[in-house]
Structure 1
Amino acid sequence: MKTVYFILLMTLAISSHSFAQKSSYDESLAKQLQADDYGMKTYVMAILLAGDRVNEYSPDQRAEIQKGHMANINRLDENGKLILAGPFIDGKEKRGIFLFNVSTKEEAEALTNTNPAIQAGVLKMELIEWYASAALQLLPEAHKKVQKTGF
């Protein structure tokens, strides 16, 4: 009898735990973020690589290209197309990443081609489709709350 009682108690505990987890589901937010039943969606990640034409530019020219690169990042963020961006610390061949809020490589490539550093050949990008939490789209707003100064 103790075993039956224990099994019944465990089933009840598991059921209430599962219910508690499901009760936090926000259907409206899931629809707004285009989440699937797992709370996930497809993004496109760009790995930024050192371009082949870096040495063709003077330091002043590269500084201007970098300003355009940063302005482009800010524009993509304002348009809701960029979830996150950032450089790798070592700064070697792999320069950084972008996570685009788009579902196809073609859309990401079109956005990539608006970047002055890509246009100048200072950077190039490898595009990879990535399946991750739809809630990542909330990251830019959260970042604005912790960012003290802009770029």
Structure 2
Amino acid sequence: MKKLILIITMATLSVNCLAQKQTKPVYDAALAKKLGADKYGMKKYIMAFLKEGPTRLTDSAARMQLQMAHLKNISKLADEGKLVVAGPFLDDQPIKGIFIFNVATIEEAKTLTETDPAIKAGSLIMELHPFYCSAALMEVVKIHHTLENANFTD
């Protein structure tokens, strides 16, 4: 009986291992081209570190209004395909968040950062760096819209 249980257990484990074995995904040349991927599935972006600026708003209503304008600008840039990732850091530090821009040059990213009301107001400054990452980031906004049940700017 013990041998039978051992054989059944081993067979079950073997079947589970085979079922979980993953095969390499099939290369999708059309998707790679659409997303701007190189042969490694990667592409160049510009990353922005959003840092505390010299201006600190003390009025809570003005701070909230500026934050909403900042979020609206983020949504606009994402909808235009220029911003693929944006988000705050959740700890209290001088670096407040990041943007990852889908642009080729720091100059283009700088022009986009200048559209942000928080940059214009001086409450944020941005430090820009070239960044090399998976071209799959280009799909983040589209996927995100299928996951959100509410929007920050509504």
TM range (shorter): 0.7 to 0.9
Number of the residue aligned with 1:42:
44
Q: Identity of aligned pairs, percent?
A: 46
Distance apart, 1:125 and its partner CA: 0.6
Question: Match of 1:67?
Answer: 68
- Post-superposition Cα deviations, 1:4-53, rounded to whole Å, max 9, x if no partner, equal xxxxxxxxxxxxxxxx63x7111111111111111111001111001111
State the match for 1:15 in structure 2: none
Displacement of 1:103 in angstroms is: 1.6
Equivalent residues in 2 for 1:60-139 (5 A)?
60-139=61-140
CA distance in 1, matches of 2:147, 2:68: 23
Corresponding residue number in structure 1 for 2:19: none
- The equivalent residue for 2:31 is 29
CA distance in structure 2 between the aligned counterparts of 1:148 and 1:34, rounded to whole angstroms = 29
The Cα offsets for residues 49-79 of structure 1, whole Å up to 9 and x where unpaired, read as 0111114x52222221111101100100110
Counterpart of 2:56 (choices 54, 57, 62) is 54
**2:148 aligned residue:** 147
Structure 2 gap segments, 5+ residues each:
1-22
Letter in 2 for 1:68: A
Deviation digits for residues 100-139 of structure 1 (CA, Å, limit 9, x no counterpart): 1112111110000000000000001111110011111011
CA distance in 2, matches of 1:93, 1:43: 23
- TM-score, normalised to structure 2, is 0.80
User: Which position in structure 2 is the counterpart of 1:12?
Assistant: none
SS at match of 2:68: helix
